[in-house]
Structure formats: C-alpha cells, structure tokens
Structure 1
Amino acid sequence: MAGSASIELNPEMLAAAAESKAWPFEEARKIIARYKGGDFPATVLLETGYGPSGLPHIGTFGEVARTTMVRHAFRVLTGDKVKTNLLCFSDDMDGMRKIPDNVPDRAALEPYLHMPLTVVPNPFGGDYASFGHHNNAMLRRFLDTFGFDYEFASATDYYKSGRFDAILRRVAERYDDIMAIMLPTLGEERRATYSPFLPISPKTGRVLYVPMKKVDAVNATITFDDEHGEEITLPVTGGKVKLQWKPDFGARWAALGVDFEMFGKDHGPNMGVYDAICKALGGRPPEHFVYELFLDDKGEKISKSKGNGLTIDEWLTYAPTESLALYMFQKPRTAKKLHFDVIPRAVDEYYQFLSAYKRQDWKERLGNPVWHIHSGNVPDVELPVTFALLLNLVSASNAHDKAVLWGFISRHAPGVTPATHPELDRLTDYAIRYFDDFVKPTKVFRAPDAVESEALAALSAALGALPADADGEAIQNAALNVARRIERYQDHAKKSPEGGPGVSVAFFQMIYQVLIGQERGPRFGSFAALYGIAETRSLIDRALAGQLAA
C-alpha cells in the first residue's frame, strides 16, 4: 500500500469510480462535497491519531490503512490533481495514567505515573529516549514496511516547538465558550474541577488535573494550585501546558485544518463535542468516518494496555501484510474478532480476490478490495494451492521442511516451483509457523467407531480404484459415493445427482477429526489430490490401526 503511488487513469476507470459504492469512494466524495467539488486548499489534509500508551496494535494500523484507501479514492475522483497529505498524529504528551500490563518490570515505571509518555523511561531498553519514543518508533516501523505515504507528528514536538501556540492562546481567549461546551457533558463532581488546560508541573513533571484559579487571555497564562497546594502561573504556550483529550481533538482540527479523520465507535458519543470545540475556535470540523471496534477471542474490546488481541508483529509472523489490509477493508462498520484463528481465512480470501481481479470489468474492480489495498497497482498472482490446503498438508505430513512441502506441491502441479511461484513459497513459511504455534498444540485425534471404520475402509478402497493422478474433483466424487451408501451420512434434505439422498457434512467432519486431528479442513478432494492418493490411503490405514489416536 502506498498513498503516493502513481495512478494510471483511463476513461473506463473514472466512469466506474464516479458510480462506485465502495466505502472509500463514498468517504472521498464527502471531502469533495466539502469544497463543492472544486475550491480545494493547497493541500487536503487527512489525519489519523495514535495513543502511544501501549505498543501499537492492529486497530491503530487499521486507521492508517483505511485512511490511505480513502485518500487514494479521492485522488482518483479528482483526477490526481489535488495535493493530499496523511498526518499520523501521536498523542505522546499524554500522561501515563496507568502502567500497561504488557511491559517488563512494571514496578520500575511506578515513579513516572502521570508524567508525559515522552518523559517515561523506555521499559524495553534500546536507544529510544522514552516509552513514548519507543512506541512511536514501533508504529513508524510497521507503517514503513507497508510503504505508506504519511507524515508522522508528535504532540510533544508540536506543543514544545510552538506550532500549537496560536490555538492555545485562542483557547485562553475563548475559555468560557469551551467550558460551556464541556461542562454539560460532565458529572457534577467533575465539573467543579474541570479545565481544558492541563499544566505540566514545573516541579514534578506530572500532567496535573487541577482547577484553574485564573485564565489570563491577554497574557496567555493560567494560574492554579499544584499538587502541593502552591499557587503557580504558567504560560499556555511552549509546551508548559497541554489540552484535555476532548478539547485537544477539536483544537488540533482547528489548528491544522484537518479535512478528514476516522475513529473508533468509542469516540462516537464525543464527536459532537469535538466538532463544537473546533467551531468555537474558528475551525471547520473534518469529515468523519466512525468504524466498529476490534474484539479479542472473548469478544472484548482490544486494548493497548491489556495487550489482548493480536499485535502487528504477530499477524505478520503468520501471514502476508496484504491479508491484514484485506481484513481492514472488509466491513469496517461491523465489529470483528481479531484473533489468530481469523488469519488463514483472510489469507485465502486475499488471493481469491487477487485471482478474480483480472477477469473483472472496472465496476467490479473498484469494488474489489485488492484495488484499494494496492492503490490501483494490483499484482498479477495466481496460486495453485490455497493457504488452508497448505496448513492441512503440513498437518497430515508433519512436514516442517519447505523442501518436503514443495515435493507434494510440485507433484500435484507439475512445473510449479519456488522460482516460478515465489508468492506460494512465501506462504509455505507462514503455513509451517502457523501450524507449529496454533494448530499442532490443539490437534486431537480420535479413534473411529465401527461405522466410521467401515466408511474409512470403503473410502480407501474407492481411492485405490482411482488413477494415481486423479484430480480433486474425481477424488471428491469418489468420497461422496462412499458416503451416500452409509445411512449415518445420508442427508435426506439434500439430493444427489441421481436423485437419492445427499451427503451430510458429518462425513467430512469425521474424516478431518480422525485423519488430521482437527474439527474442519478444506475440501477433501483437493487435499487428497495435493497430499497424494497413496499417502491418503496410508493415513487411513494408520487411523484404522489406532496409530493416530494413540
């Protein structure tokens, strides 16, 4: 993904883009309508936010990936004639309110509670100056591996360099207006002490949540009592003070002239507050896109501090980056589980969309996720074997060596080698790692009962009657014919081609439970064709002899 990649525009694409219902195009049209289709500023600014209170998680990446997709759609709709910028803004001046669960030596960070994240020591070691600097670097490293075109911004740098001084003075000037927006949103106790300004204690370095005794708009200063009861006056400029998070949203939009920003559903109730503050400060709120949150395997919201769900590096250990981008593209307004078990399907769906792309017209292409993932420069890749099949091949063969896997693949698809199909070669590495870490520990073989033993013996005999090079369709049909003769596996709600009962899915579930030790798998015919008929029969023999369950 690269937001600045060159775009080859043609009349057919542009006509399809004008009508496309894909969500990035719909969001891009909001930006165009914002300027009535033509009176654009020198640069249209799209922004994403990052809270570096914990290590970057995939939800953080999702904002950048999705915003890049909107940016690319905007460039196509405007004929690539309007300059755009994607600003990735890190709120690294926030105080560390609690110590994340997933850092080493949590006790060592306790003295730094409530200090800005760019002051908190880096618990991970290395050359980074602080916890905030480390987490910012982790985010940038990942975004760079994807080739994103973005500008990174640090709240600490913006506050301390004076880039926010003008808007901070305006907050002081319009303090009462900001308070009138904020106070109705707060509980009675919070109202008594609330201020949009958070001073940084000149003594302890902590971010202070204290009421203001005086706000001097003329001199741009605030007066308050610090945590020790001493009255202090500070300028609101120069990084001596930061804003509370809700005013910070609106003030940043007004200061930078942000045109588009997306955020998670948890920000939805505050969207009106952000907008109102932006307007009170003389700005125009950006166009919004609210996406649903990612959930862990227990259905709970992913949290950077808890470290639940997947990290960026974990996904990339087991799957190519494009599969993650696909997961971000699909149904962004639907809550989705983000855990290890979603990876294989995401991988296979990505390559299915990739395969379909070259056969589609422009209307279909612009609705195809791969067009958005690759910013219109879609690679031509065709895989002879799916990721799910590779996983089951590793499982059945216990092949932890790529050379062994390639022996099966090359026999199944003559002429297919690592040199001719480097993408497939890359997937074999992922498949071995994924199997070792997630499939192998959960494999549970069970012994077949009497009916299942007869079914497997009949399946072996049927396979033995086929040619050694029979394809997946012939193998699948042979398996179906076996199942149709066994009452347990007859599904009378379905009909076979001959008009008799169809086959229950329980038949194939039994095959995978007994032969591979898993609850589900890919199409049996495809698997057996890849693994080999002789090898599949040998697997059945071992199951019938009790060797697998043992």
Structure 2
Amino acid sequence: MSSQAAAIAPSELLEAARVSKAWPFEEARKIVSRLEKEGGVSRTVLFETGYGPSGLPHIGTFGEVARTTMVRRAFELLMPGVETRLICFSDDMDGMRKIPDNVPDRAFLEPYLHMPLTRVPDPFTNEYPSFGDHNNAMLRRFLDTFGFEYEFASATEYYKSGRFDPILRRVAERYDDIMAIMLPTLGPERRATYSPFLPISPKTGRVLYVPMKKVNAADATITFDDEDGEETTLPVTGGHVKLQWKPDFGARWAALGVDFEMFGKDHGPNMGVYDRICAALGGRPPEHFVYELFLDEKGEKISKSKGNGLTIDEWLAYAPSESLALYMFLRPRQAKKLYFDVIPRAVDEYYQHLAAYPRQDVKERLGNPVWHIHGGNPPAIVLPVSFALLLNLVSASHAHDKAVLWGFILRHVPGVTPQTHPELDRLAGYAIRYFEDFVKPAKVFRAPDEVEAEALQALSVKLGTLPAGADGETIQNALLDVARGIERYQDHAKTSPEGGPGVSVAFFQMIYQVLLGQERGPRFGSFAALYGIDNTRELIARALAGGDLSEV
C-alpha cells in the first residue's frame, strides 16, 4: 500500500497548520500557547486519556485515544522536535459499585462488591488475575491492533508502588483546601460524611466511603471507623487508600504534569472542580477538550456496564478500522448514535476522503480526516466500487462468498482483480458478513402496483436497448428517461436537462423496495452496471412475475 504523501515544503505545511480549522489543530495550538507562556519548550509534553475498567471497553473508549492521538500528531507538526508522550490511565483501583449487566454470572461477583476492580476475580475466563486486569487487557489488545503509540498506566500500580505517595501526602497537607473546593458541590447529607480519601478496609478489602475522624498531615495518616465500627488508622501512602474520583482527576494531573486531556460531556460540569484541585496541589490544569457522548440506537448513553451500543470487535467484524477512526474524527462535539446502521456510510466516506486527498492543496489536506487518521501519511488506495454497491451486489446476487462477487466485478470493471485491488477484496468480505447479519434479516420486499409494474416493464425494455457494457451514467440516464414519462414520478419542483419536470426520489425508492427489499441505496445505475444489464432485467422479470426475490 503506497503513500499519498506529497513533497510539500515544511514551511508551507507549518504555515497551513497554524491556521487550519480542523479541530485537532485548534486544540494543538492551545498546547503551543501553553508552552509559550512557560517561556520555553525544553520538556516532554504529556497527553493523557482515562479509562474506567468497570466493564469491557467500548468504542467510546477507543475514540478518546484516537482523538487524543490526532491532537498529538497535530501538535507534533506545529512543534517539530518537541518530545511527546501519551498515557492511557486505567482507574482500576476503583471499587466495583455495581455488577455489570454483561458478565456471565452475576452471582459470582456479588461477594466482591465495593472491592477494588483489581481484587475482583475475572468473571470471563479466569485467564487474568482480576476483573480489572481482564478489562485492561481487552483495551490494550485493541489499542495495539491499531498501532497506537501509548504507555499504559494502572492506578493500582501507581498507588501501591508509591508513585502517587508525594501527591497523596500533599492532599493530606492541603486537606482543608481540597474540602473547601469539594463541599460546596455536594448536598447536605453527602457533605456531612465526605472525604477525598477512600480507605481500603484492612479487614474486608472493600473501598470505604466513610468520614474521616482525623487527618494527620505530619505522618500522612487518616483515622476512621472501619465497617465493624473499630477505629482504624492507615497511611495514605502505599495503596492503603485511594482518592475520590473528582480529587483523583486533579491530583493525577498535578502528579504527572498532564498537558492535555479530553473527556465526555458528562465530565463537563466538574471540569472546574478538577482544575481547582490540581491548582491547589501545586499543579497547572491541562488543556481540555469536551466531546459529546455516543448514543445507542435508542438514543441512550452508551455504558460499559450495560454493554449497549457497539463493541470495538463488532465494528471491526464488518468494516475496516479506518472507518471507525473517521467516525471518531467527524463532529466530536455533536452527539452521535453508534450502532450498526452507521457502518456502511462511514466506510464509503472514508474512501471518498482518501480519494480526494491527492487533488487537494496543503490547507485542504490538513482539514481532510485521512490526514489525521494516518498521522499525515495517508495511503494511496484506488477503490473502483463503493461499499454500498458491494452490499447491493450481495443483496441481488445472494452471494455467500467473495468469489461470486468477484465474478461480477471481473466482468464489469476491467483490470480489477483481488490481486490488483486487495482493499476491494477485503471490503467484499466485510460486505458479505454485514449483509448476512443486518441487511438480509431486515429485507422486506413488496409487490408493485399497476403503475409501478408498468414503470418496471418500461425500464426493462429501455435497458434492453443499451449495449451490454453500458456504464453507470448511461444506465442512470435511461432510468431517468423512463421516469420522466410517468406522471407519478414527475417532480415539478425540479427541472430536467430538456426543460421538463425532474424525477421524484419516489421512483428510485420504488425500485429498491420492489427489487432489493430495501428503502434506499446508492445510484441504481452504478449498481446495474456492476450487476449487469441482463441480470438486472432478470431481477425485474422475477419481481413482475411475483417470484420470491429473497432467494435466488
């Protein structure tokens, strides 16, 4: 797979990056300004993403890493030579406050409620030491398949190894300052018992939400009543306690020196709290980017514990990874539904952006999603057949393997083979799988009424006058010629090239409903050219004869 990288002068590229309106460059310029205010850039710039392993990682988790990587690459273009790091931080020391809906045996986990996730047994395979370790491994496996450059960090390791000991001592020293930030954000009952420290009971191993009886900054200890009522004193260091999630955000930023972190809209109201805690602990709050949340098909927020929406593996079973990256790039501040129906469009949009890239000037290229998806080095891929067309071809031919699809492609797209176009071959496999699982079960054919039957018969006759090798544009024009002569399908709000009425979309909807059992599809002329005129006429004949089009 060759690259589309062009010989563009570094100065021209840098100038375009400084004014690019693509959101990763807008965010990257905030980090540049941050460094300039410091008076120099002789340090590593740290990007961070957070993950709560209370359930299996979903696409939203991946999106956070993908989007942060896009900002990181944009920054590296703006500040060449400045070292950067990306830490993917897992909050795996959090207590399991509820049992996820998508585990095999919920009863198995009940005894471990409120224990740190890295002390809860793996309910899936027993392959990992804990539930937290299992979910961390699932996240890392996927991020590795994408080739992300990142460093994985575990809260359990950071707390227990002592890496967070200095910041935990500082929280004890500045306990009153932290409480002054937190208490106004809480209701009366919560305020009465709140503490930024969550001790881990030495008796039960559970994460305790209990008030502090004493916080000793001098020896960095806390005193509280354990679950059985016995007064207990623990050091705040060494993994004996963890921080509540809001103080944990700010403390982590201060401890690590984070420069950029994005998070979902649900964190937006707390952003000021995170920042103030970070500042109170002597840190500088990072630059932020708040993105909208992903929704499932019903418009509900995607949840790791519910397991609703798409999983990472599910998307990749039906489409290439680049299409998922595109979906993450587009309109990050707009709420988007994330379910199976969005996949085909994302696939075709990715290849459309890829095809446009070589024709664009440097400013347009930096705004093209493929620049950000591929870190400035998008591949050169020629895709003569769209994914939507492949799906329609599978639908009409009832293909169960790629060889059937390639039979049509080889006959009607000269010079294209699986060897010359491996990307198309890959998409053919995805199309068959997607059709079998999602399109075929939802297909609903209907019989044509009298007007529709006459229209289809006229269309078949018209197609019969065309040469066997007619291209998609010729066939599309033939369709329009037929429709313009039928009153039902005349759209007087549109004008044909001849000056008469245009063609209503109802004509094409009828074709798809009757012939393919679908509500819509790509240009039918392009499909018919790929499927073949004779095959298309046979499809029409079966529909007019009342045959079963759901199977050949």
Partner-residue secondary structure (3-state), 1:383: coil
| Structure 2 equivalent of residue 144 of structure 1 | 144
Instruction: Answer whether contact 1:293 1:336 (CA < 8 A) is retained.
Output: yes
Task: Give 1:226 deviation, angstroms.
Answer: 1.0
Looking at structure 1, the residues matched to 535 and 309 of structure 2 have their Cα atoms a distance apart, in angstroms, of 38
Instruction: Answer whether contact 1:291 1:332 (CA < 8 A) is retained.
Output: yes
Instruction: Answer whether contact 2:393 2:405 (CA < 8 A) is retained.
Output: yes
Partner-residue secondary structure (3-state), 1:479: helix
What TM-score do you get using the length of structure 2 for normalisation?
0.97
Question: CA 1:462 to 1:303, structure 2 compared with 1: closer, same or farther past 3 Å?
Answer: same
Cα-to-partner distance string for 1:526-549 (whole Å, 9 max, x where unaligned)? 000000000000000000111136
| Structure 1 equivalent of residue 434 of structure 2 | 434
| Structure 2 equivalent of residue 62 of structure 1 | 63
Looking at structure 2, the residues matched to 41 and 193 of structure 1 have their Cα atoms a distance apart, in angstroms, of 44
* Partner AA of 1:454 in structure 2: E
Tell me, yes or no, if structure 1 residue 222 matches structure 2 residue 222: yes
Looking at structure 1, the residues matched to 42 and 121 of structure 2 have their Cα atoms a distance apart, in angstroms, of 41
Task: Give 1:42 deviation, angstroms.
Answer: 2.1
Tell me, yes or no, if structure 1 residue 78 matches structure 2 residue 71: no
Looking at structure 2, the residues matched to 83 and 52 of structure 1 have their Cα atoms a distance apart, in angstroms, of 29
Task: Give 1:11 deviation, angstroms.
Answer: 2.4
Match runs of 1:395-544 below 5 Å = 395-544=395-544
| Structure 1 equivalent of residue 269 of structure 2 | 269
Looking at structure 1, the residues matched to 14 and 60 of structure 2 have their Cα atoms a distance apart, in angstroms, of 31
Partner-residue secondary structure (3-state), 1:29: helix
Looking at structure 2, the residues matched to 548 and 30 of structure 1 have their Cα atoms a distance apart, in angstroms, of 60
Looking at structure 1, the residues matched to 203 and 409 of structure 2 have their Cα atoms a distance apart, in angstroms, of 67
* Partner AA of 1:66 in structure 2: R
Tell me, yes or no, if structure 1 residue 111 matches structure 2 residue 111: yes
* Partner AA of 1:322 in structure 2: E
Question: CA 1:331 to 1:466, structure 2 compared with 1: closer, same or farther past 3 Å?
Answer: same
Match runs of 1:211-250 below 5 Å = 211-250=211-250
Looking at structure 2, the residues matched to 165 and 410 of structure 1 have their Cα atoms a distance apart, in angstroms, of 65
Instruction: Answer whether contact 2:516 2:549 (CA < 8 A) is retained.
Output: no
Partner-residue secondary structure (3-state), 2:379: coil
Q: Point out where structure 1 has 5 or more consecutive residues left out of the alignment.
A: none
| Structure 2 equivalent of residue 50 of structure 1 | 51
Question: CA 1:266 to 1:41, structure 2 compared with 1: closer, same or farther past 3 Å?
Answer: farther
Cα-to-partner distance string for 1:381-420 (whole Å, 9 max, x where unaligned)? 0100000000000001001111110011111111100000
Match runs of 1:249-264 below 5 Å = 249-264=249-264
Match runs of 1:160-175 below 5 Å = 160-175=160-175
Instruction: Answer whether contact 1:214 1:222 (CA < 8 A) is retained.
Output: yes
Aligned length: 544
| Structure 2 equivalent of residue 303 of structure 1 | 303
Looking at structure 2, the residues matched to 366 and 34 of structure 1 have their Cα atoms a distance apart, in angstroms, of 22
Looking at structure 1, the residues matched to 390 and 76 of structure 2 have their Cα atoms a distance apart, in angstroms, of 39
Partner-residue secondary structure (3-state), 1:63: helix
Looking at structure 1, the residues matched to 540 and 20 of structure 2 have their Cα atoms a distance apart, in angstroms, of 51
Cα-to-partner distance string for 1:10-40 (whole Å, 9 max, x where unaligned)? 2221221121111111101101101117612
* Partner AA of 1:412 in structure 2: H
Looking at structure 2, the residues matched to 243 and 232 of structure 1 have their Cα atoms a distance apart, in angstroms, of 18
Instruction: Answer whether contact 2:542 2:549 (CA < 8 A) is retained.
Output: no
Question: CA 1:541 to 1:481, structure 2 compared with 1: closer, same or farther past 3 Å?
Answer: same
Partner-residue secondary structure (3-state), 1:86: strand
Cα-to-partner distance string for 1:56-80 (whole Å, 9 max, x where unaligned)? 000000110000000001100012x
Tell me, yes or no, if structure 1 residue 362 matches structure 2 residue 358: no
Partner-residue secondary structure (3-state), 1:307: coil
Question: CA 1:8 to 1:312, structure 2 compared with 1: closer, same or farther past 3 Å?
Answer: farther
Instruction: Answer whether contact 2:222 2:234 (CA < 8 A) is retained.
Output: yes
Tell me, yes or no, if structure 1 residue 382 matches structure 2 residue 382: yes
Question: CA 1:371 to 1:526, structure 2 compared with 1: closer, same or farther past 3 Å?
Answer: same
Cα-to-partner distance string for 1:123-169 (whole Å, 9 max, x where unaligned)? 11142111100000000000001100000000000000000000000
Cα-to-partner distance string for 1:81-117 (whole Å, 9 max, x where unaligned)? 1000000000000000000001101110000000000
Partner-residue secondary structure (3-state), 1:493: strand
Looking at structure 2, the residues matched to 41 and 163 of structure 1 have their Cα atoms a distance apart, in angstroms, of 24
Cα-to-partner distance string for 1:264-291 (whole Å, 9 max, x where unaligned)? 0000000000000001001100000000
Task: Give 1:227 deviation, angstroms.
Answer: 1.2
Instruction: Answer whether contact 1:296 1:338 (CA < 8 A) is retained.
Output: yes
Partner-residue secondary structure (3-state), 1:358: helix
Instruction: Answer whether contact 1:9 1:76 (CA < 8 A) is retained.
Output: no
Match runs of 1:22-61 below 5 Å = 22-36=22-36, 39-61=40-62
Looking at structure 2, the residues matched to 9 and 54 of structure 1 have their Cα atoms a distance apart, in angstroms, of 47
> Among the aligned pairs, what percent are the same residue?
83
* Partner AA of 2:179 in structure 1: M
Instruction: Answer whether contact 1:254 1:279 (CA < 8 A) is retained.
Output: yes
* Partner AA of 2:56 in structure 1: L
Instruction: Answer whether contact 1:265 1:291 (CA < 8 A) is retained.
Output: yes
Question: CA 1:173 to 1:354, structure 2 compared with 1: closer, same or farther past 3 Å?
Answer: same
Looking at structure 1, the residues matched to 172 and 531 of structure 2 have their Cα atoms a distance apart, in angstroms, of 72
Cα-to-partner distance string for 1:453-472 (whole Å, 9 max, x where unaligned)? 00000000000000000000
Moved >6 Å (runs of 4+): none
Task: Give 1:41 deviation, angstroms.
Answer: 4.5
After TM superposition, the structure 1 stretch with the greater mean CA deviation from structure 2, 67-76 or 32-41, is 32-41
Partner-residue secondary structure (3-state), 2:123: coil
Looking at structure 1, the residues matched to 341 and 189 of structure 2 have their Cα atoms a distance apart, in angstroms, of 45
Partner-residue secondary structure (3-state), 1:36: helix
Partner-residue secondary structure (3-state), 2:88: strand
Instruction: Answer whether contact 1:447 1:549 (CA < 8 A) is retained.
Output: no
Partner-residue secondary structure (3-state), 1:498: coil
Q: Point out where structure 2 has 5 or more consecutive residues left out of the alignment.
A: none
* Partner AA of 1:514 in structure 2: V
Instruction: Answer whether contact 2:87 2:153 (CA < 8 A) is retained.
Output: yes
Looking at structure 2, the residues matched to 256 and 412 of structure 1 have their Cα atoms a distance apart, in angstroms, of 59
Partner-residue secondary structure (3-state), 2:94: coil
Question: CA 1:529 to 1:272, structure 2 compared with 1: closer, same or farther past 3 Å?
Answer: same
* Partner AA of 1:240 in structure 2: H
Question: CA 1:55 to 1:319, structure 2 compared with 1: closer, same or farther past 3 Å?
Answer: same
* Partner AA of 1:192 in structure 2: A
Question: CA 1:415 to 1:265, structure 2 compared with 1: closer, same or farther past 3 Å?
Answer: same
Question: CA 1:549 to 1:427, structure 2 compared with 1: closer, same or farther past 3 Å?
Answer: closer
Give the aligned CA root-mean-square deviation in angstroms. 1.2
Question: CA 1:15 to 1:66, structure 2 compared with 1: closer, same or farther past 3 Å?
Answer: same
| Structure 1 equivalent of residue 340 of structure 2 | 340
* Partner AA of 2:220 in structure 1: A
Instruction: Answer whether contact 1:351 1:383 (CA < 8 A) is retained.
Output: yes
| Structure 1 equivalent of residue 200 of structure 2 | 200
* Partner AA of 2:46 in structure 1: L
Partner-residue secondary structure (3-state), 2:12: helix
What TM-score do you get using the length of structure 1 for normalisation?
0.98
Instruction: Answer whether contact 2:326 2:373 (CA < 8 A) is retained.
Output: yes
